[in-house]
């Protein structure tokens, strides 16, 4: 899993049928120190995350597991909302 922040939302009037009803959010990957790390990605949302929230997301085949038994075609999915983050330094 990876850490990220929701920075936007994608509105699509036409999309693949198995994505109907799925929210698509723009996520900025982050380091544990909350610094931007890499390009933004578009994630399906299994949690109801909102703008500005700190989240965990996964990629690859496992991204579709959050929607079982439905078959959702996705490469990235938000799977958790972070309530608190503690980073041990040193």
pTM, two decimals, is: 0.90
Q: What is the pLDDT along the chain (90 residues), one digit of tens a residue?
A: 899 999 999 998 888 888 888 999 999 999 999 999 999 999 999 999 999 999 999 999 999 999 999 889 999 999 999 999 888 876
- Give the other-Cβ count within 10 Å of 61's Cβ: 9
d(CA 47, CA 81): 7
**Contact by Cβ (8 Å): 56, 78:** yes
Class of domain 2-76: mainly beta
- Give the other-Cβ count within 10 Å of 20's Cβ: 8
Q: Domain ranges for the chain, please list them.
A: 2-76
Integer-rounded Cα radius of gyration of the chain? 13
d(CA 23, CA 37): 23
Q: Which residue has the tokens 């399906």?
A: 44
């Amino acid at each position: 899993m990876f850490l990220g922040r929701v920075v936007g939302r994608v509105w699509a009037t036409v999309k693949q049928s198995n994505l109907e009803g799925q929210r698509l959010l723009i996520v900025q990957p982050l380091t544990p120190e909350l610094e931007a790390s890499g390009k933004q990605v578009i994630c399906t949302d299994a949690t109801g995350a909102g703008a500005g929230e700190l989240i965990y997301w996964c990629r690859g085949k496992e991204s579709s597991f959050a929607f079982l038994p439905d078959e959702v075609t996705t490469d990235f999915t938000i799977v958790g909302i972070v309530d608190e983050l503690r980073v041990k330094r040193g």
